[in-house]
Amino acid sequence: MSDTHIVILAAGKGTRMKSTLPKVLHKAGELPLLEHVFRTAGALDPVSTTVIVGHQADVVQQSTPKRLGLSFAVQEPQLGTGHALLQAEPFLSGRQGTVVLLSGDVPLLRPDTLKALVRTHSERKAAATVLTAAVADPDGYGRIIRDDSGAICAIVEHRDATLNQRRVAEINSGIYAFDLNGLFEALKTIGSTNAQGEYYLPDLVTIYRGRGLVVETVVAPDSREILGVNSRRELAEVGAILKRTRNEALMESGVTIVDPASAFIGPDVTIGADTILHPGVYLEGRTSIGSGCVINSGVRIIDSQIEDGVVINNFCVICDSHVSRGARLGPFAHIRPQSNVGEDAHVGNFVELKKTTLGRGSKANHLSYLGDATIGEKVNIGAGTITCNYDGVHKHPTVIEDGAFIGSDSQLIAPVRIGEGAYVAAGSSITEDVAAGSLAIARGKQTNKPGWVARNKKTR
């Protein structure tokens, strides 16, 4: 275990998002901004993680999954970044080691960059190390001011900077490593005489240099890594970068993505080689897709396992389910939670499965609702078959054994069992079990009345 502690700033209001949702809970690349920061911080194997919350503190806290060593400190009111870090004191006082300060709204930072920051910080025995970046447009950022020897001596906020200082293209990323020793004592000496009347954390640089302590910098290799999200536009920009990086890695591993700009694939999704993704697919959560699959346009798959060689036609939605090798789905199939589509099974257009197992080689090709059903192998479910699983209070099961044939437009009123190889005549309303090998007909008898039309036709 390291001696590294993480503090994440997430107390700010995020005014420019114009949202009732706290900024750090907005998603980019399928994950909340704060979750990206947790994952990057995880690379340092931290002893503790403290999130500074303030604006909508309770919402942020409740929406964040519990983790080992995670605590929240409330900053109220929010008096600036220096004041924000000070709120971590109760969690870190008496500890030794390094504090790495991250921003909850900076999701693109790479673990390697963070490791480089910490490495330099400890190698140089620095009191503080600032992650900086060279950017084309430094407007709005704090500028890195260096002395004649090239060492950092101050960070000046844009609003407080002189015209000369504003020409500096090296900016403060807002990410730092600090030696815990003396940190909180020094934070308390920061003043608030600046354009915003806030306690600026970057002022620590001047304070430390004044005391003759070592302050270091590390330049981020790619300045996009330190992009912060302040508006919906920036949220989309960051999302696009995450998507491109993710999709490039998948293509590198042998997945064909026909239009990478419109393929949305979550960070925890796995996809086998030679699978083809057509435009407009959404693969989310803990989804795994085998190799040699074809996922057509408009498909959304959440928390599901798709085995090798599966073809999913356009506009299917699959949630929390399993699809075995060689199956074919859609177009327009809805596979709801806890469903299992067996090997080489077919689920056709406008078919909905809920908590249903469709056995190997079985077919439900058209317009069906199959809920709470256990369907065996090589079963044929005719067009328009409905399992009537709900009596208004309880859900009831339907069992259809191997090789059964359900005629079109049948209703299976659950609980009910159709035995092995049994036939149900089209248009039947089945209320009783059907024994193996039997034919069940349960529909009104047809009566034909010859000549009825002519007799009843009005004569002019």
The window from 75-83, 183-191, 272-280, 292-300 that contacts ligand UD1 (CB under 6 A) reads 75-83
Site string for ligand UD1, 192-221 (x = CB under 6 A): --------xxx-------------------
Query: Should residue 52 be labelled a site residue for ligand UD1 when binding is judged by CB under 6 A?
Result: yes
Q: Which two tokens stand for residue 195?
A: 């354009």
Name 319's bridge partners.
302
266 three-state secondary structure: coil
Structural contact between residues 176 and 100, judged by C-beta atoms closer than 8 angstroms: yes
Strands 31-32 and 152-156: unpaired
Query: Should residue 50 be labelled a site residue for ligand UD1 when binding is judged by CB under 6 A?
Result: no
Residues 6+ apart with CB under 8 A from 454: none
Complex with ligand UD1: residue 200 or 423, whichever CB lies closer: 200
Name 333's bridge partners.
351
Among 30, 157, 307, 401, binds ligand UD1 (CB under 6 A): 157
Query: Should residue 142 be labelled a site residue for ligand UD1 when binding is judged by CB under 6 A?
Result: yes
Structural contact between residues 120 and 144, judged by C-beta atoms closer than 8 angstroms: no
Complex with ligand UD1: residue 204 or 364, whichever CB lies closer: 204
DSSP 141-209: SPEEEE-TTS-EEEEE-GGG--HHHHT--EEEEEEEEEESTTHHHHHTT----STT----TTHHHHHHH
Query: Should residue 105 be labelled a site residue for ligand UD1 when binding is judged by CB under 6 A?
Result: yes
Complex with ligand UD1: residue 175 or 333, whichever CB lies closer: 175
Type of residue at 191:
G
The answer to whether 366 is a known catalytic residue is yes
Query: Should residue 103 be labelled a site residue for ligand UD1 when binding is judged by CB under 6 A?
Result: yes
Interacting positions 379-398 with ligand UD1 (CB under 6 A): none
Please work out the total of residues on this chain that contact ligand UD1, with binding judged by CB under 6 A: 28
The window from 6-14, 268-276, 282-290, 451-459 that contacts ligand UD1 (CB under 6 A) reads 6-14
Q: How far are the Cα atoms of 75, 335, 445, 458 from residue 453, in angstroms, in the given order?
A: 84, 47, 20, 10
Query: Should residue 138 be labelled a site residue for ligand UD1 when binding is judged by CB under 6 A?
Result: no
Query: Should residue 264 be labelled a site residue for ligand UD1 when binding is judged by CB under 6 A?
Result: no
CB of 145 to ligand UD1, least distance (A): 11
Query: Should residue 35 be labelled a site residue for ligand UD1 when binding is judged by CB under 6 A?
Result: no
Q: Which of 334, 366, 394, 396 is catalytic?
A: 366
Distance, CA of 376 to CA of 358 (rounded, Å): 6
Question: What is the spatial order of strands in the sheet that 373-375 belongs to?
Answer: 270-271, 288-289, 305-306, 322-323, 340-341, 357-358, 373-375, 398-400, 416-418
Complex with ligand UD1: residue 81 or 324, whichever CB lies closer: 81
Query: Should residue 348 be labelled a site residue for ligand UD1 when binding is judged by CB under 6 A?
Result: no
Distance, CA of 212 to CA of 261 (rounded, Å): 51
Query: Should residue 11 be labelled a site residue for ligand UD1 when binding is judged by CB under 6 A?
Result: yes
CB of 75 to ligand UD1, least distance (A): 5
Name 312's bridge partners.
295, 329
Complex with ligand UD1: residue 145 or 214, whichever CB lies closer: 145
Query: Should residue 79 be labelled a site residue for ligand UD1 when binding is judged by CB under 6 A?
Result: yes
Among 32, 107, 174, 376, binds ligand UD1 (CB under 6 A): 174
Cite the DSSP H helix spans in 178-288: 183-187, 203-210, 232-252
Site string for ligand UD1, 217-256 (x = CB under 6 A): -----------x----------------------------
CB of 124 to ligand UD1, least distance (A): 21
Query: Should residue 129 be labelled a site residue for ligand UD1 when binding is judged by CB under 6 A?
Result: no
Structural contact between residues 355 and 397, judged by C-beta atoms closer than 8 angstroms: no
Complex with ligand UD1: residue 230 or 270, whichever CB lies closer: 230
CB of 142 to ligand UD1, least distance (A): 2
Query: Should residue 356 be labelled a site residue for ligand UD1 when binding is judged by CB under 6 A?
Result: no
Bond preceding residue 77 cis, omega within 30 of 0: yes
Residues 6+ apart with CB under 8 A from 185: none
Distance, CA of 448 to CA of 169 (rounded, Å): 90
Catalytic residues: 366
Q: Would you tell me which residues interact with ligand UD1 (CB under 6 A)?
A: 9-12, 52, 54, 75, 78-81, 83-84, 103-105, 141-142, 155, 157, 171-174, 200-202, 228
